Structure 1
Amino acid sequence: MNKPVVWLVIPDTQIESAVRDIPALSAFQVESVRFDSNDWLPRLHARPPEAMLVQADRVQDQHLVTLMENRPSCEIMLLSEGSPNPLIDQAMRQGASFHFRLPLEDKLLQDIFSDIHNEWRSEDVAAEATRSDLDQFGLLLGSSPCMRKVYRMIRKVADTDASVMIVGESGCGKELVANTLHLMSRRIDQPFIAINSSAFSSELIESELFGHEKGAFTGAVKSYKGIFEQAHLGTLFLDEVTEMPIELQAKLLRVLETGQFSRLGSEDVLTTDVRVVAATNRSPEQAIADGRLREDLYFRLAQFPIELPPLRERGEDILGLARHFLAYRNAADKTQKFFSAGAMEAIEKHLWPGNVRELKHLVERAHILALDEITQEHLGLDGDFAPVLTPQEDALIIPANAPLEEMERQAILQTLERCEGNKTRAAEQLGISIKTLYNKLEKYRS
């Protein structure tokens, strides 16, 4: 944060030196200014100081008149030996706040400069609380070098028809990247359709992708257009593509290569023209090795891969995003809440396993809890920002000779407890989809 500025217009160097020794001035950027120079008035218009102390009986009368005619919105304090001076009286009537007589009272000036600094800090914090200083590219926010690299890659590929594979941890903003690609492409006026591949059972996802005819299966009471039809001429975003059933991936590959497909329950061949953007929070290479992703499908989807960095690698973007989310909450709720120094330090040091999504939700929660100042307690982040578990602490406790099903149950429940109930994070650590985790938990409750 920049320091507030004080101008000392004091030709008497001994008095100026005494003023500079006042402790409160250490919080200011103190500048010596002379009215007999040619640049003081342009400087005053360009960037007025927060306060100005002028030795009024030692400057030219015309300069004092000019100062008051161009009076900035700052604290103007006059200093003199005390002889009657009509120009000083006029300056006081025009808005100068103090007229000090020599010798100076250090205690009085100390209190006044402390008050000025406190007022400046309150105004600066309030302004910061309603302002975002992050660069924006499409729907993405960030000024860090790694994000600017992502922006360059999006710009290069956006206006082509190349398939894009976005790889990044959960909560990084993969759908925002896909949406930004769409907004910067020539398909911008056409549909953008997004689907989470892990949100549907293997029985339903084929219908969701390709559609079905009435009566194609139990419950198909009317015909349905799949997302390949809905996204015709637009962009189709396939999130968590590595969670798609392996047997369906061959059909998806055929559509990507030929643009042709059929609805379930129909032999009619339909044609679609879509730009496909896929995303995964897994390593594609590991997914291929584990049999979760067809290698030929990966190469078709990843004509242009984009790796999205996790929040912990984005440097100053972490605090920038926190301020951005707070500024938007303040604007929406007409408040001026702000982060304490301790809260900002906690935000900087936290590892953010849930990435930008976790940060956004945490800031919104803290905004609700705080009256004015958001502290570390409102954030709910303790001092142990990077916990290190010993092998014993990290180990799962499985009963001896337990059946395989019980071992699986204990692994899931203990992992969920270790993740403090965060099902998305637990599913990632277990290497299963979030839908599979929910199904397992539902089974354990029955």
Structure 2
Amino acid sequence: MTSLTFLIDLTDTALLKSIQTNVSGPGKQSYYVSEPGEALFQLKDNDADIALVQANKFTAADLVLLKEVNQESNTEVVLFSDGKPNPYIDQAMFNGVTYHFRSPYDYESINSTLSELIEDLSEQKHVSKSAKTSVLDQFGLLLGSSTPMKKLYRTLRKVSSTEANVFVNGESGTGKELVANTIHLVSDRSSGPFIAVNCGALSPELVESELFGHVKGAFTGANRDHKGVFEQADKGTLFLDEITEMPLEHQVKLLRVLETGEYRPVGSDRVLKCNVRVVAASNRVMDESMSEFIREDLYYRLAQFPLQLPPLRQRSTDILGLAQHFLAYRNMENSASKSLSAAAIALLESHQWTGNVRELKHVVERSFILAEDVIGAEHILFDDMSSPEESSLSEGIPLDVPLEDIEKIAIEKNLEKNKGNKSETADKLGISVKTLYNKLEKYSED
């Protein structure tokens, strides 16, 4: 039997008594903190599989400790509180705490949850022992064996089985669409459609038509009926990517359909009903300034379950495995057997990866093209590395040219480099997708 360890920091005696069966017995070791409130400090130095923590007075310092525990260990932390509103517990849930139980406690539900958690962890421990030689673990479309990824897998497994709308937040290149697709594939809706739409790329004039469809003759050019994405995704999952790039005045159009499931195609007098699970995503930081780019009422409808993706720098133990995975894929496609040298590995592992997994994939693919048999450090070209003739930015700027023309050249060159990907181009230029579309529309009119 796989051994599990519990760290228990509970002051509620009735709660303690109710969980005894789950935390004691063959293959289970329970450790009780001597001083209430010390569990998170102990977890920094001593791993446990599950920590049960009383959080009636959960503070900002506790939140900092919990974030450190989440990043450095595989411990599953479960919080119990007296039910009073606590913004630090809310933030903890956003950062990956799997469960938070509020008083008055439902002991049957708590023990059922603990039993399921114990079963999951026991299974994962067994799998990890028999799979040490594999490059990376996988869950759905996601790859990674680091602590943050294992925590993500456990969370996705739980939320995928529900009908909750999920808001995926993460830097560019962390795999937000892969997460959305994984949620769909693992859910009961997997036999239905998965429809992805880039909200930042929706034409302002056709937002309602793209979302809800239109009937023939609804407007000039509407030569036939058109199904919107909510109808296309019926009985499946709709992925609203870059939701924060949709203008605020258009975001309001989503409120009714998210609340009631009802919508009206443009030009129609019929109200239709959809059965859709929505996963939304953004690479913006969700803080006190978020009202500048997303309506608060919309955010809380979308974020029934908020999910934060770890950047690659927080899962550094996955870098080599991911690089080997991408290299193996290229080897298979090209019937090659190229490998990474020790110097190349060291260079990859020391890089900051601001572009995250997407950047790593591009770097490996470039190095594959450049190398013959063994990929050396000289074959590693990062996204931010310039060729010698481009090393001085000022030397490449033409003189006596209007500023607008220079801006246009920069946009067109970046679009060409990014193969027409407007989201990536806007990100590289430091502007919003909406601004990019406005500029491109202006250029087309000139």
* TM-score normalized with structure 1 length: 0.61
Output the CA distance in 1 between the equivalents of 2:228 and 2:137.
Answer: 37
TM-superposed CA distance for 1:332, in Å, is 2.2
SS in 2 for 1:247: helix
Q: How far did 1:408 drift?
A: 8.3
Q: Structure 1, residues 341-400: CA drift from partner, whole Å, max 9, x if none?
A: 121111112222221112112212221222101122222149989xxxxxxx99xx9x9x
CA contact 2:201–2:437 (8 Å) conserved in 1: no
Give the share of equivalent positions with the same residue, in percent: 59
Deviation string 1:42-69 (CA, Å, 9 cap, x unpaired) is: xxxxxxxxxxxxxxxxxxxxxxxxxxxx
Deviation per residue, 1:326-352 (Å, 9 max, x gap) = 011112222110011121111112222
For 1:383 and 1:205, the matched residues in 2 are separated by 35
Q: Name the CA distance, whole Å, in 2 between partners of 1:382 and 1:208.
A: 34
Cα distance in 2 for residues equivalent to 1:441 and 1:376:
39
Q: Give the CA RMSD over aligned residues.
A: 3.4
User: Residue in 1 aligned with 2:426?
Assistant: 427
Superposed, which structure 2 residues align to 1:23-422 within 5 Å? 133-285=135-287, 288-290=290-292, 292-381=293-382
Judged with a 3 Å threshold, the aligned counterparts in structure 2 of structure 1 residues 412 and 365 are, in CA distance, closer, same or farther, namely: same
Whether the 8 Å CA contact 2:245–2:433 is kept in 1: the answer is no
Q: State how far apart, in whole Å, the 2-side matches of 1:408 and 1:302 are.
A: 40
Indicate if the aligned counterparts of 2:170 and 2:176 stay in contact, CA closer than 8 A. yes
Contact 2:363 2:382 in 1 (8 A): no
Residues 200 and 384 of structure 1, relative CA distance in 2, 3 Å threshold: closer
CA distance in 1, matches of 2:281, 2:383: 33
Structure 1 stretch displaced more, 421-430 or 230-239? 421-430
Cα–Cα, structure 1 residues 231 and 417, in superposed 2: closer, same or farther, change >3 Å?
closer
Q: Which residue of 2 aligns with 1:103?
A: none
Aligned CA distance change for structure 1 residues 293 and 331 (closer, same or farther; 3 Å): same
Aligned 8 A contact 1:196 1:238 in 2: yes
The alpha-carbon distance between structure 1 residues 168 and 382, as it changes in their structure 2 partners (threshold 3 A), is: closer
Once the two structures are superposed, residues 95-120 of structure 1 have per-residue CA deviations (whole angstroms, 9 ceiling, x without a partner) of xxxxxxxxxxxxxxxxxxxxxxxxxx
> Does structure 1 retain, via aligned residues, the 8 Å contact 2:261–2:275?
yes
* CA gap 1:383/1:259 in 2 versus in 1, 3 angstroms: closer
Q: Which residue of structure 2 lines up, in the alignment, with residue 89 of structure 1? A: none
Q: Is the 1:132–1:320 contact (alpha carbons within 8 Å) kept by the matching residues of 2? A: no
Aligned partners of 2:168 and 2:281 also within 8 Å: yes
Distance change in 2, residues 1:275/1:208 (3 Å): same
CA deviation string 1:118-163 (max 9, x = no partner): xxxxxxxxxxxxx961000111000111111111111111011101
CA shift digits 1:214-260 (9 cap, x unpaired): 11111111001111111111111100001112222222111010010
Go from structure 1 to structure 2 and tell me whether the alpha carbon gap of 1:197 and 1:424 turns closer, same or farther (over 3 Å shift): closer
Structure 2 residue matching 1:170: 3-state secondary structure: coil
- Code of the aligned partner of 1:134: L
Change (3 A) 1:163 1:287: farther
In the alignment, the residues of structure 2 paired with residue 143 and residue 235 of structure 1 have an alpha-carbon distance, to the nearest angstrom, of: 27
- Quote the Cα distance in structure 2 between the aligned partners of 1:425 and 1:320: 25
In 1, Cα distance between equivalents of 2:330 and 2:369: 9
Residue type at the aligned position of 2:307: I
Computing the radius of gyration over CA atoms, which structure comes out larger, 1 or 2?
1
Q: For 1:321, what is the secondary structure of its paired residue?
A: helix
Relative distance call for 1:246 and 1:310 in structure 2 (3 A) is: same
Contact between 2:164 and 2:277, CA under 8 Å: does it hold in 1?
A: yes
> Is the 8 Å Cα contact of residues 346 and 381 (structure 1) preserved in structure 2?
no
Checking the alignment, whether the CA contact within 8 Å between 2:246 and 2:434 is kept in structure 1 is no
| Aligned residues between the structures | 303
Distance 2:413 2:224 in 1: 43
CA distance in 1, matches of 2:198, 2:384: 36
CA distance in 2, matches of 1:152, 1:321: 20
Amino acid at match of 2:218: A
Question: 1:282 aligns to what SS in structure 2?
Answer: coil
Normalised to the residue count of structure 2, the TM-score between the two structures is 0.61
**Would you say the 8 A contact 1:187–1:235 is kept in 2?**
yes
**Runs of at least 5 residues in structure 2 that lack an aligned partner in the other structure:** 1-132, 387-392
In the alignment, the residues of structure 2 paired with residue 198 and residue 413 of structure 1 have an alpha-carbon distance, to the nearest angstrom, of: 22
In 2, Cα distance between equivalents of 1:424 and 1:376: 30
Q: Distance in 2 between matches of 1:424 and 1:243?
A: 10
Contact map agreement 1:132 1:324 (CA 8 A) in 2: no
Whether the 8 Å contact between 1:287 and 1:293 is mirrored in structure 2 is no
